[in-house]
Structure 1
Amino acid sequence: MSKSKAGRRVVVTGFGVVTPIGTTVDEFWAGLKAGKSGVSALGGFPLDDLKILIAAQIKDFDPKQRLKHFKRDRIITLADRYSWFAAAAADEAVRMSGLELPEADPYRSACIIGSGAGGLVTFETAYRDLFILNKRATHPLTLLRIIGSSAAAHVGIEFGVKGPTFATCSACSTATHAIGIARDYIRDNVVDVAIAGASESVINYGTMKAWQALHVLSPEGCFPFAKKRNGTVLAEGAGILVLESLEHAQARGATILAELCGYGMASDSQDMVKPTVEGPSVAMQGALDDAGLKPEQIDYLNAHGTATMDNDINETKAIKNVFGDYAYKLPISSTKSMHGHPLGAGGGIEAVACIKAMQEGWVPPTIGLDEPGDGCDLDYIPNVGREKKVTYTMSNSFAFGGLNAVMIFGPPPA
Structure 2
Amino acid sequence: MSPTNRTVVVTGIGATTPLGGDAASTWEGLIAGKSGVKPLEQEWAADQAVRIAAPVAVEPTEVIPRPQARRLDRSAQFALVAAQEAWKDAGFEAKAGEDQSVDPDRLGAVIASGIGGVTTLLDQYDVLKEKGVRRVSPHTVPMLMPNGPSANVGLLVGARAGVHTPVSACASGAEAIGYAIEMIRTGRADVVIAGGTEAAIHPLPIAAFGNMMAMSKNNENPQGASRPYDTARDGFVLGEGAGVIVLESAEHAAKRGARVYAEAVGQGVSADSHDIVQPEPGGRGIAAALQNLLDSTDLNPAEIVHVNAHATSTPAGDVAELKALRKVFGDDADHMAVSGTKSMTGHLLGGAGGVESVATVLALYNRIAPPTINVENLDPEAEANADVVRGEARKLPVEGRIAALNDSFGFGGHNVVLAFRTV
TM-score between the two structures when normalised by the length of structure 1: 0.93
Amino acid at match of 1:307: S
Matched with 1:89 is: 82
Alignment of 1:267-346 (within 5 A): 267-276=271-280, 277-346=283-352
- Deviation for aligned residue 1:134: 5.5
Amino acid at match of 2:415: N
Matched, 1:359 2:365: yes
Matched with 1:375 is: 381
Encode CA deviations 1:48-81: one digit per residue, 9 max, x unaligned.
5211000111144142x31249xxxx83553111
> For residues 119 and 193 of structure 1, do their structure 2 counterparts lie closer, same or farther at Cα, with a shift above 3 Å needed?
same
Q: Residue 291 of structure 1 contacts residue 408 of structure 1 at CA under 8 Å; is this kept in 2?
A: no
Q: 1 CA distance for matches of 2:130 and 2:301?
A: 56
Q: 2 CA distance for matches of 1:210 and 1:312?
A: 21
Encode CA deviations 1:264-295: one digit per residue, 9 max, x unaligned.
10011121112121110011122233331232
Residue 375 of structure 1: SS of its match in structure 2? helix
Q: 1 CA distance for matches of 2:30 and 2:336?
A: 19
Q: Residue 181 of structure 2 contacts residue 266 of structure 2 at CA under 8 Å; is this kept in 1?
A: no
Q: 2 CA distance for matches of 1:50 and 1:235?
A: 16
Matched with 1:165 is: 163
Amino acid at match of 1:127: Y
Q: Which runs of 4+ in 1 moved over 4 A?
A: 132-136
Q: How many residues align?
A: 403
Alignment of 1:390-401 (within 5 A): 391-401=402-412
Q: Residue 75 of structure 2 contacts residue 149 of structure 2 at CA under 8 Å; is this kept in 1?
A: yes
Matched with 2:237 is: 233
Encode CA deviations 1:306-336: one digit per residue, 9 max, x unaligned.
1111101111111110111232332101100
Q: Residue 288 of structure 1 contacts residue 408 of structure 1 at CA under 8 Å; is this kept in 2?
A: no
Q: Residue 20 of structure 2 contacts residue 57 of structure 2 at CA under 8 Å; is this kept in 1?
A: no
Q: Residue 224 of structure 1 contacts residue 305 of structure 1 at CA under 8 Å; is this kept in 2?
A: yes
- Deviation for aligned residue 1:137: 3.0
What stretches of structure 2 of length at least 5 have no aligned partner? 219-224
CA RMSD across the alignment: 1.8
Matched with 2:222 is: none
- Deviation for aligned residue 1:163: 1.8
Equivalent pairs: percent with the same residue? 37
Q: 1 CA distance for matches of 2:125 and 2:356?
A: 33
Residue 11 of structure 1: SS of its match in structure 2? strand
Q: 2 CA distance for matches of 1:75 and 1:184?
A: 32
Matched with 1:243 is: 247
- Deviation for aligned residue 1:410: 0.6
Alignment of 1:131-210 (within 5 A): 131-132=129-130, 136-210=134-208
- Deviation for aligned residue 1:166: 2.2
Encode CA deviations 1:17-39: one digit per residue, 9 max, x unaligned.
11001110110011012100011
Moved more, 39-48 or 220-229: 39-48
Q: 1 CA distance for matches of 2:347 and 2:80?
A: 20
Amino acid at match of 2:390: P
Q: 1 CA distance for matches of 2:110 and 2:55?
A: 24
Q: 1 CA distance for matches of 2:331 and 2:261?
A: 31
- Deviation for aligned residue 1:369: 0.4
Q: Residue 112 of structure 1 contacts residue 195 of structure 1 at CA under 8 Å; is this kept in 2?
A: yes
- Deviation for aligned residue 1:140: 1.8
Residue 181 of structure 2: SS of its match in structure 1? helix
- Deviation for aligned residue 1:123: 1.5
